Amino acid sequence: MSLYGETHRTVVAPVGEAMAQALLTAAAVIGNAAKVAGTIWRAVEHRRALAQVAGLDDHMLRDIGLTRSDIHDAASVPLTQDPTRMLVLRATERRAAIRLALRERSRG
């Protein structure tokens, strides 16, 4: 009986190891594909948001602290980056500059 168990183990073990390795490789490939799909999905969503902001008229853009050139600059960032982050930065910088100018004017 021990002879059969040892023989069976030496014959089946390499097959089991190969199967386990194949499954691990397949899982890694699927995981990477899911990661890439998520990145593409986020890029599409970011560009959709940018398109909505670009659809606003100049008066509305000015109300939120943006200009058309900000929209064009944001559209030029790489696809893997969120273009709306640039818009938030530009609007924040403009608001800070306005506050600083008002503060300077009230002091002088």
For 49, list phi and psi in degrees, rounded to 5: -65, -40
- 73 residue type, one letter: D
Taking residue 99's Cβ as centre, other Cβ atoms within 10 Å add up to: 10
**How confident is residue 60, by pLDDT bands cut at 50, 70 and 90?**
very high
> pLDDT at residue 29 above 60?
yes
Indicate the pLDDT class of residue 57, thresholds 50, 70 and 90: very high
In the predicted structure, residue 4 carries a pLDDT above the cut 60: no
Burial of 94 per CB tally in 10 Å (0-12, 13-18, 19+): middle
Residue 10 has pLDDT above 80, yes or no: no
Side chain identity at residue 81, one-letter code? Q
pLDDT band at 2 (very low <50, low <70, confident <90, very high): low
Give me the pLDDT at residue 18, please: 83
Higher pLDDT, 103 or 13: 103
Q: Residues 32-45: what's their mean pLDDT?
A: 92
Q: Give the pLDDT mean for 21-30.
A: 91
CA gyration radius, the chain:
29
